[in-house]
Structure 1
Amino acid sequence: MSSSPTYRGFEAVIGIEVHVQLKTQSKIFCGDATNFDAADNENTSPVSVGMPGTLPVLNKQAVEFAIKTGLALGCTIRNRSVFARKNYFYPDLPKGYQISQYDKPICENGEVTILVDKVPKTISITRAHMEEDAGKSTHFGDYTLVNYNRAGIPLLEVVSGPDMSSPQEAAEYGRTIRQIVRYLDVCDGNLEEGSLRCDCNVSVRRIGEDKLGTKVELKNLNSFRFIEKAIEYEIDRQIDEIEAGKAITQETRLYDPDKNRTYSMRTKEDAQDYRYFPDPDLLPILIDETQVEQFRRELPELPLAKAKRFQTELGLSEYDASILTAEKGLADYFEIVSAKSGNPKQSANWIMSDLIREMNTHKIEVENSPLKAEALAELIKLIDSGKISGKIAKTVFVDMWTTRKSADEIIKEKGLAQVSDTSVIEKIIDDVLAANASQVAEYRSGKTKVYGFFVGAAMKATKGQANPDVVNQILKKKLDNA
């Protein structure tokens, strides 16, 4: 494994808090809906806007999703975890406190492996705790509007150790967490809608020093590209401050992507500033080992394990396996095509080229593809059986996508079946050779590069439907045995 990157005689130390919005239909402590497209303040109730006298009731599915995520991250699941009140005042938090978990989180002591330039690195997970989201403030100069639709949406905050040392590692860690929670189907991972947000803690220290520098939190980064660029800027900013003889202030900063810079939001609080204490309205969460093991058995195969299996069992390259396992839906689609066609490599090729091209063009996910996995498998089987050529199959694929007809239907309707009859192909080749006597003479005089001309002419004469293997077999025989 390569050593940590250095920056002008300094090294960076990076930890990340990933806020995962759990994919429940209702909020964590009440029955308000969680849909993103609701009108402003539509998904609210006395509980989510903190009216006096209201009481929270814990969402069971949110707990189950938290346990699944913790297990997938290799965490220990606490048999007894506790909700606490995190006290601070802000307009989007009308109660004056946030219900979170403090010293007894539901998940702790896990790890996740990331790959940066094909090099694996293990990042520790300190904890993953449940909490409610706050509302959203939108500032307009001299006034602010608050939308409480987000208030009370269930979050799982996944806190890494300070184990990353470059912007690239930080971004890849964020991608890996997103990939895992999408595989688990506990979060849709939609960065633009705020379903997954990252806070990055960044500090620098001189090479050789053991003591950590003062950390700065970069808040609410919702793009992996922004994570890289914000951390790059922040590393340079902190080094500039230190070299100018200034002390780094522990603070929270925001990133401006238009100006590619960070700016101060507020001085960073410490835990004691929040005056945590156990929430008196919520009982501890009690989970026994039998329940934990049941959840463990239900975990799906995770991305890295699936990619390794695709390589060892199906013979895919590391690159192909990584592309096909990037999203669970694509991996599932590939497995169906591969199994039903009996040709994993060609299945991978068709998906990674033609299918993904059409998906990108039409901006759709694989789950909404008009070309089902079984239909693509049938097309591949037709190529392998010699019924159509690979070139003709490209045309058939496009027609299958647009018409949703089967490959067989399209081949019959358009007369695209591959010609393998040797007598038919032999006559065509005889005609081609007779019409191009000078090229035949060239070939027989040793200028064998002209061979491709004959293949092209024969394929053109059959509108691309001649079996290329048969064409080559007959053509070679006739040219070499004059």
Structure 2
Amino acid sequence: MTITLPPYEDVTARFEPVIGLETHVELGTRTKMFCGCPTGFGAEPNTQVCPVCLGLPGSLPVANAAAIEATIRIGLALNCTIASWCRFARKNYFYPDMPKNFQTSQYDEPLCTDGYLDVEVDGRPVRIDIERVHLEEDTGKTLHVGGATGRIHGATESLVDYNRAGIPLVEIVTRPIPGTGADAPAVARAYVTELRDVIRVLGVSDVRMEQGSLRCDVNTSLNRPGDQWGTRTETKNVNSLRSVERAVRAEMLRQAAVLDAGERIVQETRHFHEETGDTRPGRSKETATDYRYFPEPDLVPLAPDPEWVARLKTELPELPRVHRARLQQAWGLSDLDMQAVLNAGAVELIERTVAAGSSPEGARKWWLGELARRANEAGVDLSTVGATPADVAELQSLVDAGRLNDKLARTVLEGVLAGEGTPSEVMAARGLEVVSDTGALGAAVDEAIAANPDVAAKIREGKVAAAGVLVGAVMKTTRGQADAKAVRELILSRLGVQ
């Protein structure tokens, strides 16, 4: 069915979105969840497997204590209640990337429940209720080859790598989030961003979306005001913060168009396509009954010691919201300025740039200015734009030392982003350093005075503001490399003006 997408403003005027997020976090443990296989990323396919994670007959699992502790710490950071008794279950399904034909997970007795995470969108606080945080094992990875899309449709063959199968995986499930209106896409992104920052500061995962250690499934539905919530779809494995926002927006537009056409929304999984910015159907969505859950007979229940849980809570590090408040005070930013930093996803980048030697003002100028513009143009997250905090700190130090002006610094930054080296290396290779030596500038100043006698006469008469014309002429002659302050002083000196 071909549908015409309505304007976004029209959709949010006529429909109310309800979103929900299921986020999967691969824990950074040394070994897998139920066996001793290593978990390092990038190993040769099917070299980090054993009878347990392959589900061979007679093999028995043993739970990873470090993974259990990490999950409890995540639950505590998300204000959850930690279960005094819970157990694992078998989730049965038959996919080629699940070697046992079932996944050891948790069903009706999760480890952590009833939490929340507070986020801000354009200065407005939004509380996201967490339904559950549970522990399970990851699946393997299927690679579809021979087709144009990398998906099973059109592929000539599929390859399976079981190295990832059995890695500890924490699933964090929100309750439905109504009432966000036109901000629904931004709220989804803000939540995943804040959750990523929380988990990163806990040190339990590297939460690298590009490597799959943080994956997000986005649930979206629409209903008309006053009606029951609509049928939801689940957009699977969205792999960047920007794409989380785009996926919610795309589904809101698509569902509105389907409803406007008099059709019904099908409960299904969908896939977000980065290139086109839309979602495509996957499969009809299973229910819990389809998975035929039952308690895992080969694992004993978990009963965390309350005193141990209490101690883990006291040992939690400073969480991102508290950390940001401290940085805001240290950097001297207003609430509006800090919100702009947060909206750009630049808090950590600016903090690392300041740690590398830049002033907060200089770091914020580059990350929220030129670099943010380039990231938007390229359609990438700011952290992957191509410059490091060390690069930005070095660039600003060259400006502060008078070796670069802002115009030259932007040119140097182009070279850094093009992979030509560090700012100092690019400056040297391109010959972009500011010329401040009066001897070297003298000829250009004399030429400007000679070419503009009327302007020179005005300056001699005391109209020193006119010196800007001559400064501009010298800057043009020197391709912007002259020190404007030195040029102005030299012009006034040449013309006998104190």
TM-score, structure 2 normalization? 0.72
Amino acid at match of 2:176: P
Q: Tell me what 2:236 maps to.
A: 219
Where 2:206 maps in the other structure, the secondary structure is coil
Deviation at 1:466, TM superposition (A): 7.3
Other-structure match for 1:87: 92
268, 285, 308: which one aligns with 1:252: 268
Once the two structures are TM-superposed, the CA of residue 105 in structure 1 deviates from its matched residue by: 2.0
Which of residues 10, 15, 26 is equivalent to 1:10? 15
Structure 2 letter corresponding to 1:203:
S
Deviation, 1:17, is 0.7
Matched residue type, 2:191: Y
C-alpha separation between the residues in 2 aligned to 1:240 and 1:415? 60
Residue type of the partner of 1:219? K
Query: Residue in 1 aligned with 2:304?
Result: 286
The code of the aligned residue for 1:321 comes to V
Pair 240,420 (structure 1): closer, same or farther in 2 beyond 3 Å: same
Q: Which residue of 1 aligns with 2:148?
A: none
> In the alignment, is residue 44 of structure 1 matched against residue 63 of structure 2?
no
Report the alpha carbon displacement of residue 194 of structure 1 after superposing the two structures with TM.
Answer: 2.9
Q: Which residue of structure 1 aligns with residue 3 of structure 2? A: none
1:349 aligns to 2:365 (yes or no): yes
Within a 5 Å distance, the mapping from 1:8-157 to structure 2 comes to 9-137=14-142, 138=144, 139=152, 145-157=159-171
8 Å CA contact 1:12–1:205 kept in 2: the answer is yes
Is it true that 1:333 corresponds to 2:347 in the alignment? no
Aligned to 2:221: 203
Instruction: Provide the secondary structure at the position in 2 that maps to 1:199.
Output: strand
The counterpart of 1:314, out of the listed 331, 337, 340, is 331
Shift of 1:163: 0.8
Deviation at 1:456, TM superposition (A): 3.7
1:152 Cα deviation after fit: 0.9
Distance 2:389 2:234 in 1: 44
Measure how far apart 1:229 and its partner are: 5.0
Which stretch shifts more, 348-357 or 130-139?
A: 348-357
Whole-Å Cα distance in 2 between the matches of residues 358 and 6 of structure 1?
Answer: 30
Q: Structure 1 residue 256: deviation in Å? A: 6.0
Is the contact made by 2:185 and 2:246 (CA closer than 8 Å) also made in structure 1?
Answer: no
**Closer, same or farther: CA 480–414 of 1 in aligned 2, 3 Å:** closer
**Residue 287 (structure 2) aligned to one of 266, 269, 272:** 269
Gaps of 5+ in 2: 1-8, 145-151
Residues 46-100 of structure 1, C-alpha deviation per residue, up to 9 Å, x if partnerless?
1111112211122233223323333333333334442222233444334343211
The one-letter code sitting in structure 1 at the alignment partner of 2:194 is: T
| 3-state secondary structure, aligned to 1:200 | strand
Contact 1:10 1:206 in 2 (8 A): yes
Shift of 1:265: 0.8
Contact 1:198/1:219 (8 A) holds in 2:
yes
1:212 and 1:54, CA in 2 relative to 1: closer, same or farther beyond 3 A?
Answer: same
Alignment check: 8 A CA contact 2:140 2:165 kept: yes
Per-residue deviation at 1:133? Answer: 1.6
User: Aligned pair in 2 of structure 1 residues 377, 66: CA closer, same or farther (>3 Å)?
Assistant: farther
Specify the code of the residue in structure 2 equivalent to 1:276. Answer: F
AA of the residue aligned to 1:162: P
Aligned match of 1:235:
255
Look up the SS of the partner of 1:455 in the other structure: helix
User: Of the candidates 458, 462, 470, which is equivalent to residue 454 of structure 1?
Assistant: 470
Quote the Cα distance in structure 2 between the aligned partners of 1:264 and 1:355.
36
**Cα distance, 1:333 vs structure 2:** 1.8
Distance in 1 (alpha carbons) for counterparts of 2:42 and 2:493: 68
Counterpart contact for 1:72–1:299, Cα < 8 Å: no
**How far is the alpha carbon of 1:151 from its aligned partner?**
1.6
In 2, Cα distance between equivalents of 1:143 and 1:184: 40
Residues 408, 432 of structure 2: 8 Å contact kept: no
Give the direction of change, closer, same or farther, for the CA distance of 1:347–1:298 in structure 2 (3 Å limit): same
1:437 aligns to what? 453
Q: Distance in 1 between matches of 2:314 and 2:118?
A: 19
- CA drift of 1:475 comes to 5.5
**Hey, what's the Cα distance between the residues in 2 that align with 1:198 and 1:373?**
31
Q: Deviation per CA, 1:381-406, whole angstroms, max 9, x where unpaired?
A: 634xxx87667777888999967698
Q: 1:474 to 1:237 in 2, by over 3 A?
A: closer
TM-score by length of 1: 0.74
**Contact residue 218 and residue 235 of structure 2 kept, 8 A:** yes
Amino acid in structure 1 at the alignment position of 2:53: S
SS at match of 1:441: helix
CA distance, structure 1, for counterparts of residue 269 and residue 450 of structure 2: 79
Matching residue of 1:186: 204
SS of equivalent to 1:12 = strand
Distance 1:404 1:334, change over 3 A: closer
Render the CA deviation track for 1:315-369: whole Å, top value 9, x for unaligned: 24336633786464x24422314xx55x3212433555678899999x9969995
Pick closer, same or farther for the CA change 1:445–1:64 going to 2, 3 Å.
same
User: Deviation per CA, 1:104-163, whole angstroms, max 9, x where unpaired?
Assistant: 322222222334444332211111111112234554779765432232121111101111
Which residue identity does 2:35 align to in structure 1?
Answer: C
Bigger shift: 87-96 or 140-149?
140-149
Stretch deviating more after TM superposition (393-402 or 268-277):
393-402
Structure 1 portions without partners, runs of 5+:
none
Code of the residue aligned with 2:338 in structure 1: it is E
What RMSD over aligned residues (CA atoms) do the two structures have, in Å? 4.8
Contact 2:271 2:282 in 1 (8 A): no
- Alpha carbons 2:11, 2:252 under 8 Å: kept: no
Alpha-carbon distance change, 439 to 189 in structure 1, aligned in 2, over 3 angstroms: same
How many residues are paired up?
A: 461
Identify if the C-alpha distance between structure 1 residues 124 and 319 changes in structure 2 by more than 3 Å, giving closer, same or farther: closer
- Alpha carbons of 1:378 and 1:169: their partners in 2 closer, same or farther (altered >3 Å)? closer
SS at match of 1:187: coil
Q: Which amino acid aligns with 2:76?
A: L
Give the Å deviation of 1:239. 2.5
Matched residue SS, 2:209: coil
